Structure 1
Amino acid sequence: MNLFSLLQARNAAGKPVRVALIGAGKFGSMFLSQVPHVPGLVVSVIVDLDPQRARDACKTVGWDEALIAATTFTPDPAKAMADDVEVVVEATGSPAAGIRHARAAIAAGKHIVMVNVEADVLAGPLLAAEAHKTGVVYSLAYGDQPALTAEMVDWARATGFRVVAAGKGTKYLPAYHDVTPDNVWQHYGLTAAEAQSAGMNPQMFNSFLDGTKSAIEMAAIANATGLDVPSEGLLFPPCGVDDLPHVLRPRAAGGILEQAGLVEVVSSLERDGRPVFRDLRWGVYVVLEAPNDYAADCFRQYGLKTDASGRYAAMYKPYHLIGLELNISILSAALRKEETGQPRGFRGDVASVAKRDLAKGEMLDGEGGYTVWGRLMPAETSLRLGALPIGLAHRVRLIRDVAHGAVVRWSDVEVDANDESVQARRAMEAAASKTSR
């Protein structure tokens, strides 16, 4: 708990932490809104495909003209690797771009904060290993749910508790897996016109709804913490915060988990659509087990919600503030040389699954689109099936039919073997296969 004092010392020495931001969308804008209020933190470069949009975003979040004039706005990612930049924040949301930018930052000796969890799940273990060899930090983004969950898991383990389950909440019904951008807004209680006027991207918001984003985030948590992935994918049980230790315990103890030590997402909706009481839609949680009777007694004495046995309890954070909290990652990397979550293995993967019967010749359109959604599965299962990762299901053509609900495989699509993201993913798969032998 010394980040602010460390930053004050750097600022007093005339050596502010300098940051380059790639991608000035919603997450990036939320981060930018905090920058004027943190002396010693300077965003010197903002990279965006539309530099004027990035300037406008800075005005919207409260930057004055002097601060805007002192900042470089550019569409060129190479400018993010300037000599005075210490930390690069990758917030584009594009898996291919994320891998490319992370590698460029690592090669330039910059710490990289990967807001782009899509890229992290596609090739994060490989990128983290490359960063380690170079001596820079590769980090998940604090404020987003994977890093917050990883922090809670670390807290539980460091205090001596067994982690039984960890994850987040979301709004979920089974029918959502087949939702497309054409009918997404009805599930958010919006009209298409209202969403458009608010600048909301239907494909991005649909990836939140159809289960893809949840799968991606749980894979990131599994890879960062060593927790396992449910063998049949996420269950999305309806569950409020008071029931976490009752529902998310092993089946042998009366819960729904096939085993202890899993990632899982809880739904804020009952299966009939009714709202769950005291839901965790915006938050994260960890379910832990007391190691002995004395600790279980302490749970009761200090008011923790437990299951009937008193041995399983839950800690949770009801909200996450995404970009508003990002400075924790940036300052941890620059001032402590520590990450706020990082993939340490390849345990979870997100496979592409057909939303409808798909025909040979069709083009896949990625997360939240019309053709596929992302299903969480153990990495070893994904490798055995030859599953096409959701991060590569962008503008690739099918070379055979795929039935509704079936996993799309590498062998079902045309891929460009010279594409950097394909090469990075194949290298990571080869390393994982070699390790598992």
Structure 2
Amino acid sequence: MMRTRPLKVALLGCGVVGSEVARIMTTHADDLAARIGAPVELAGVAVRRPDKVREGIDPALITTDATALVKRGDLDIVVEVIGGIEPARTLITTAFEHGASVVSANKALLAQDGAALHAAAEEHGKDLYYEAAVAGAIPLIRPLRESLAGDKVNRVLGIVNGTTNFILDKMDSTGAGYQEALDEATALGYAEADPTADVEGFDAAAKAAILAGIAFHTRVRLDDVYREGMTEVTAADFASAKEMGCTIKLLAICERAEDGRSVTARVHPAMIPLSHPLASVRGAYNAVFVESDASGQLMFYGPGAGGSPTASAVLGDLVAVGRNRLGGTTGPGESAYAALPVSPMGEVVTRYHISLDVADKPGVLAQVATVFAEHGVSIDTVRQQGKDGEASLVVVTHRASDAALGGTVEALRKLDTVRGVASIMRVEGE
């Protein structure tokens, strides 16, 4: 039976994503009502610029007073797509206090204060859903916290930022330098005027914190995630990667330790074999590779950003929360029972690709090999090219801890025969 009283929804933010949410709510109103079991009514839209023309939205619904909107007391669901920490945090907690459940796409806030927001939702008996916070339209949050709830997830490895993947893909496929590829991404609208959040890994790190927390039933905050940007990746790095049968991606990697007693979360550029499924992810697309005990290897792939894909995830949460509202129940909240410690980056074990500028004379390779051996880092392969007294030396290691590799590089820089460390790249996915 269809309930005749509509579910009232307030929208905080009406930019690229918010306007798409409003449009879909209007154009798909009958379908949404049938799927939820009640009509959905857009009850108010909070914006910063009230004079801007917003097609399809009744001007009477527009307000600049977001606080008054969430305090109305008759709202069923508040959709937050304004981003940032404040006022989003206060508005969300205020919505809970005044009887509304919340659907959010705010990765930065959830990565920083997810535990407090979940606690506020639980205190007031309301839902907090945020599928759109990670990987746009790709269903990922719900599969991790519901479909795989009976499984043990050991690793989440993914490309979770479309801007950086577009840039790296262009560098790989055309031989372009970083700045040239960034300029093209900006011209096409894939990169913001200030791309720092994307290219320095802040965006991906927030998503990694959310994924690790859900996958490992442990509270992981943004500060727990090791972060390294991709601005130093060069065409020479891609040339070296190709010689190894690899490409380069900016990866978010969340892992459970082999003994199961700790977890790690990190974001950085890495070489991955061309045979790995993530190597074929092109353009601005996202993909996440999940490894678990029972289900084995799963891959989630699709558009990770943009108004329509993100709005699709928001509306999916809206349907789920609406159903819960009608049923007088709530969906799954925070699951942090495992409370595993987050290990520092120094304890991460992986392979490394190190490019050195060295003097082209006898004995250099022996000196370099000795430094690696003294720090317990085993060498897999070495490639050397020399000309006019200068040489480049590329070393690929076996698996070693990040701390051991850091000590090795520090010692290498002190050698008179080493002119400089041109690049250090982790090798993943093998």
User: Shorter-chain TM-score: which interval?
Assistant: 0.5 to 0.7
Deviations 1:321-360 (A, max 9, x none): 21122112122222224457757488799xxxxxxxxxxx
* Structure 2 residue 109 is matched with structure 1 residue 119: yes
| TM-superposed deviation, 1:214 | 0.4
Residue number in structure 2 paired with 1:423: none
* Distance in structure 2 (CA, Å) of the matches to 1:189 and 1:158: 42
After TM superposition, give the deviation of residue 288 of structure 1 in Å: 2.2
After superposition, the Cα gap between the structure-2 partners of 1:251 and 1:32, relative to the gap in structure 1 and judged at 3 Å, is closer
Structure 1 partner of 2:99: 109
Partners of 1:269 and 1:26 in 2: how far apart?
A: 33
Aligned residue in 2 for 1:149: 140
Do the aligned partners of 2:84 and 2:109 also contact (CA within 8 Å) in 1?
yes
What is the CA-CA distance between 1:34 and the residue it aligns to? 0.9
Change (3 A) 1:151 1:68: same
Change in CA separation of 1:101 and 1:289 when aligned onto 2, cut-off 3 Å? closer
Provide Cα deviations, 1:43-71, integer angstroms capped at 9, x if missing partner: 11000111223xx2x31xxx2xxx525x5
Post-superposition offset of 1:32? 1.9
SS at match of 1:153: helix
Matched, 1:72 2:71: no
Equivalent residue runs for 1:339-418 within 5 Å: 339=331, 342=334, 344=336
Residue 76 of structure 1 and its aligned partner are, at CA, apart by 0.1
Residue 97, structure 1, aligned to residue 87, structure 2: yes
CA contact (8 A) 1:165 1:287 kept: yes
Relative to the length of structure 2, the TM-score reads 0.54
Distance 1:143 1:226, change over 3 A: same
Residues 162 and 289 of structure 1 are in contact (CA less than 8 Å); yes or no, is this contact kept in structure 2? yes
Q: Larger C-alpha radius of gyration, 1 or 2? A: 2
Correspondence for 1:316: 300
Structure with higher strand content? 2
Whole-angstrom distance in 2 between the partners of 1:249 and 1:121: 14
* Distance change in 2, residues 1:149/1:46 (3 Å): same
Unmatched segments (≥5 aa) in structure 1? 1-8, 177-182, 296-311, 350-437
Is the CA contact (8 Å cut-off) linking 1:153 and 1:166 kept in structure 2? Answer: no
For these two proteins, the number of residue pairs brought into alignment is: 289
- TM-superposed CA distance for 1:222, in Å, is 2.2
| 1:278 aligned partner | 280
Determine if contact 1:218/1:263 at 8 Å carries over to the other structure.
yes
C-alpha contact 1:20 1:80 (8 A) present in aligned 2: yes
Measure how far apart 1:216 and its partner are: 0.8
Report whether the alignment pairs 1:233 with 2:226: yes
Aligned-pair identity (%): 14
Counterpart contact for 1:47–1:80, Cα < 8 Å: no
* Correspondence for 1:288: 291
The secondary structure found in structure 2 opposite 1:99 is helix
Q: Scaled by the length of structure 1, what TM-score is found?
A: 0.53
- Aligned equivalent of 1:222: 212
> How far apart, in 2, do the equivalents of 1:18 and 1:76 lie?
17
Separation in 1, partners of 2:257, 2:20: 44
> Following the alignment from structure 1 to structure 2, what is the Cα–Cα distance between the partners of residues 191 and 282?
13
| Counterpart position of 1:43 | 42
Q: CA deviation at 1:267?
A: 6.0
In structure 2, relative to structure 1, the CA distance for the partners of 1:149 and 1:141 (3 Å cut) is closer
- In the alignment, the residues of structure 2 paired with residue 118 and residue 199 of structure 1 have an alpha-carbon distance, to the nearest angstrom, of 19
Aligned to 1:202: 193
Q: Is the 8 Å Cα contact of residues 172 and 209 (structure 1) preserved in structure 2? A: yes
**Which of 195, 201, 211 in structure 1 is aligned with 2:201?**
211
| Aligned-partner Cα distance in 2 for 1:226–1:121 | 15
